[in-house]
Chain A
Amino acid sequence: MIKVGIPRALLYYQYYPAWKAFFEALGAEVCVSPPTTQNMLVSGSSRVVADTCLPVKVFIGHVISLVGKCDYTFIPAIRSLKSKTYNCSKFLGLPDMTRAVVPESPHILEIEIDINRGKRQLYQSIYKLGRHFTWNPLQVRQAATAAWQAYLDYQEMMSRQGLTPPQAIERISGTPDTMPESHSSPATPPRATIGLIGHPYLLYDEHINYQLVRRLEQADNRVLTPEMLATPQLEATIARLVGRSYWTYEEEVVGAGGYYLQNKADGIIGVMAFGCGPDSLMMDMVHRQANRQKTTPFMCLTLEEHTSEAGVITRLEAFIDMIYRKKRRQVEVCV
């Protein structure tokens, strides 16, 4: 059986169930790299130039870890998912860049997804991808439909049950994941509601964000993530804040950030990677909005491979303490 390797990084968190359904419908076996480790990060960093961003370094590390374990590595190049949006160059150049820096990698399966170029182009690129497994266009079509269905189920699972992507993926595939069950036990009301904004590959990679979600939940806070919000809400927020969206993944940052600012999260933590092009502007957009409103505290955590655990914890604790104090004072004033 043909084995397709999928690196557990970058867009994995958004589309893994769809990819899995697609390749399995074509008779291939899917092989996911293990959760990020320090070794992966180091091996990834050693291949690319220094100012490449942390998530891409992690991604390269995952690709290296898949060498010898599969026949193909699947790396999509996603340009746009809505008309007139645009994605970071690093996503567009990902297959070519991986080929350049990991020459020993198995053959790279790539697909370019660009809605701007029309549906025909999209279907053609899906067929082209399917060709690696079958000559039968009908089978590719069925696989694509299965993938779409799997994606919709995945999305619904997350927004309806309030699951994070790793939890939802765990339910779907039945493989143990590193993410614990969320602390949403109704017995104790949460001490504070923290809205997280940022891309899933930063929020759910426990190695690079030092278990941010878990830490917040263990301190009895309720954590909101962008996946828990519905797309129309996010789009409306973007329209209000910046007009037409420019980036493909703008919802995860500006959309969610603007939404939490209006809907009374007690605090917002923005997570971004150092040197991230889109986030350098989008986080700033949210930051400025928060500054103008002066109601919800906002903190931006910038991650890179020199970030230390102690630094993250200190900032996190200080931020949460500030929110608790603010809430206590509000209660006292009310009394």
Chain B
Amino acid sequence: MRVGMPHMGNLYIPFKALFQRLKVDFVIPPVSNQRTLSLGARYSPEGLCIPFKMTLGNLIEAAEMGANTLLMPGGDGICRLGYYTKVQEQILHELGYNVEIIQLGVSEHKFAGLLGIIKRVSNNAPWPRIISAFRFGLAKLNSLDTIERLVQKVRPVELVKGTANQLYAQAVRAIDKAEDYNLLKKVKKDYVSQLNRVTRNSQARPLVVGITGELFVLLEPFSSFDVERELGKMGVEVRRSTFLSEWTKFSLFLNPLGINEKDRIHKAALPYLKRDIGGDGWESVGEKVLHAGEYDGLVHLAPFTCMPEIIAQNIMPSTREKIPVLTILCDEQIAKPGILTRLEAFVDLLQRKRRAEENNNQRVAI
């Protein structure tokens, strides 16, 4: 059995660690690129969202590399995602790949279900080994997210542009290579201190822009032309509330205990949207309400034709809490110059707004 799975940002690193420890034959398809998207778009039904097309592209590339068991996230009551595997399996079969897709139904099976699937693909490895391998994967995920958070802070204020990105790329590689906890710890410490030592522009007061929206386009930089990095280049500090490590921690361990990190966000959204509408629509509205006073602006990322985000997008302008929102719809037709132009215009608008507010304050002071 050769296992493959689609990409979502750096998710492949913890899974690689997990499967290496369990000695599972695991292939990693090429990091999402233009070919992935073209393949996905060619074989997908036309009206589908970019997460479907990208993951289909990944799955096809994994199948080309000989994978016959594909792990694909899914589950009940999310959005179209729950139906993905049914169609993707048919498409792969029609293309002549003899593969089986296993749905990782995190929302319904929780932790036990996930472990069960790991046990199955690892050819019935003993439980202690599975648990320890899983912990190691989680440790890698946590380190990756710690570094990423720091990079988001450094990027806008570094003196030499691009330093943080370079360090980030090195860190990701090093974390991927780390073979045990000691090494991982060392790598993490090393890069954290390196990032902290990057010379910063002490006068910079970066604009703070929140990023919210649909999980996949948030976490897969290729699908949104890496909006975060581009904003960083423009000297904007990006805040994102969705991190995979957080998400795993809560949805696997704490949600079953009744602790929900999103309660605060949902409560904020309540006056405008009373119920979960699937996907991340509720959270998008909530984040706007919650961060209205805190951030300078909000970038709302959504796949084209995403049902929950369309509802969120319709509701957002009517909230009493005001904050500029830029919605970017991602699909295979978007082009980098288009995104850049819109981001630049948005940042200009935020800067002008900040200047106007400061002038007003000065006048009041006088």
Contact = CB atoms under 8 A, between A and B. Distances in A.
A93 B273 contact: yes
Contacts of B313: 49
A103 B314 CA distance: 12
B305 interface: yes
B321 interface: no
B276 interface: yes
A280 B305 contact: yes
Given A52-B310, A275-B305, A100 B315 contact: yes
Interface stretch (B2-10, B86-94, B260-268): B86-94
B311 A285 contact: no
A120 B79 CA distance: 26
Interface in B244-284: 272-279, 281
A277 B281 contact: no
Interface stretch (A16-24, A81-89, A212-220): A81-89
Interface residues of A, number: 44
B87 A277 contact: no
B83 A93 contact: no
B272 A277 contact: no
Contact of B79 (A89, A103, A275): A89
Interface of A: 48-49, 51-53, 77, 79, 84, 86, 88-90, 92-93, 95-97, 99-101, 103, 110, 112, 116, 242-243, 246-247, 272, 274-285, 287-288, 302
Contacts of A302: 47
Contact of A283 (B45, B82, B307): B45
Contacts of B274: 95-96, 110, 112
B319 to A, nearest CB: 8
Interface of B: 45-49, 76-80, 82-84, 86-87, 90, 94, 272-279, 281, 304-308, 310-311, 313-315, 317-318, 327, 329
A294 to B, nearest CB: 14
Contact of A278 (B76, B80, B306, B308): B80
Contacts of A278: 80, 83
Contacts of A90: 307, 310-311
Given A89-B281, A277-B305, A247 B314 contact: no
Contacts of B278: 86, 89, 92
A267 B229 CA distance: 51
Of the candidates B78, B87, B275, B307, the one having the most CB atoms from chain A within 10 angstroms of its own CB is B307
Contacts of B82: 86, 246
A96 B77 contact: no
Of the candidates B49, B86, B281, B315, the one having the most CB atoms from chain A within 10 angstroms of its own CB is B86
Contact of A96 (B49, B272, B305): B272
Contact of A93 (B86, B90, B311): B311
A96 B310 contact: no
A242 B86 contact: yes
B272 to A, nearest CB: 6
Contacts of A246: 76, 82-83, 86
A282 B45 CA distance: 10
B310 A103 contact: no
Given A93-B273, A246-B86, A302-B47, 12 more contacts: A79-B275, A89-B277, A89-B311, A92-B276, A96-B274, A96-B311, A97-B314, A101-B314, A103-B318, A277-B80, A281-B48, A282-B83
A48 B314 contact: yes
A77 B276 CA distance: 11
